[in-house]
Amino acid sequence: MNRLERAANIEDLRRMAKARLPRSVFDFFDGGAEEEATLAGNRAAFQRVRLLPKVLVDVRQVDTGVDIFGVRSNLPMAIAPTGAIGAGRNGADLMIARAARATGIPYTLATPATNSIEEIADQAGGRLWFQLYLLKNLEMRMQLVRRAHAAGYEALLVTVDLATAGKRERDLRNDFAAPFRPTWRNSRDVLLKPAWLLDMARHGIPEMKNLEGLVRSSTRMTDVAASVGRELDASFDWDQLKSLRDAWPGKLLLKGIVRPDDAERAAAAGCDGVVVSNHGGRQLDGAVATLDALPAVVRAAGSKLTVLIDGGVRRGVDLLKARALGAQAVLTGRATLFGAMAGGEAGAKRAIDILGGEFERALMLCGVSRAADIAADLVAP
């Protein structure tokens, strides 16, 4: 049994990632805003839900697949967008995209990824979604939309909960700054992680290739990351959403919805779906946990919208709980990120396999033979 196979759960992969990465890089991925109450709340919400399993049901054969936008996914799960992850392992975006294709689930590429829209389409393929940051630079924003369409991306996930960047205090304490400024603390930490250091020395500091030209002429991660927060369009509103809807011919989802009235407005604007999300607890600390917000959003969406959810997914049973509360599927970001940091493409696939295996077991133990049949009666009042 190799090292990755010994990982029994996502937390094991998280520990492997932590052991490989400099503290500042790991905390950038792992941390949340301010006191991290929202980060912890997302996980706690899943842990609070209790199930009412059925018995004496034939579950010798279990179908874990569901339809998402009319196309089968082998799990009620897609990969959430995670930005700048090339800081932890060169080519990590491509590794996770390939793992998603291999396991038959959709993959979402982040705007600040270190593999380009075209690289992911050409070298990974599969069901591809693109997360759009609402940049002030309208030409660049629409160029990203056109590039995603030309490359065959199925859906556009517009991040709407990021009018400005959150205050992530772990980054401040770790001297995680852009551009990088050497200090005794962060330099010593880097030297103690030889595998990461060798990867960065061999391939160089990764570039955010989708954002070429946004800041000066540099696409280095350290240069662009510092400016992305300043380049977000805090004026973008529902009226401007209409022109984006007209420009994108595929599925359009708003990512960052937690209010039922916002879900209703999304439907009225012609959106195809929403992602109930608080940005993984990385922006507004004190925001409602996504699973707690889900039922009201589902009721407001009715049959007009496909409802997805992210934040706090660490176990396969979380997929069951989310569907029982009305979500079509979950998006998970950190789980596969930890896997990729621990073991590249094989590590990302290991993360998906862990969640898929746990989900299949949860279905059997709850007396449900088809994921499509998960219903609200499985959740205890």
Residues with catalytic roles? 279
Q: How many CB atoms lie within 10 A of CB 278?
A: 28
Report the Cα–Cα distance between both ends of the chain, in Å, rounded.
Answer: 42
DSSP string covering 219-268? -BHHHHHHHHGGGB-TT--HHHHHHHHHH--SEEEEEEE--HHHHHHHHH
Dist CA 369 CA 362 (whole Å): 10
Asked if 267 and 303 touch (Cβ cutoff 8 Å), the reply is no
Dist CA 35 CA 258 (whole Å): 20
Residues 6+ away with beta carbon under 8 Å from 54? 366, 367, 368, 378
Helix (H, G, I), strand (E, B) or coil at 26: helix
Dist CA 200 CA 218 (whole Å): 18
**E strand residue ranges, 280-341:** 306-310, 329-332
- What amino acid is encoded at 211 in this protein? L
Asked if 145 and 157 touch (Cβ cutoff 8 Å), the reply is no
Asked if 306 and 331 touch (Cβ cutoff 8 Å), the reply is no
The length of the chain in residues reads 381
Dist CA 33 CA 352 (whole Å): 26
Residue with tokens 């960047």: 165
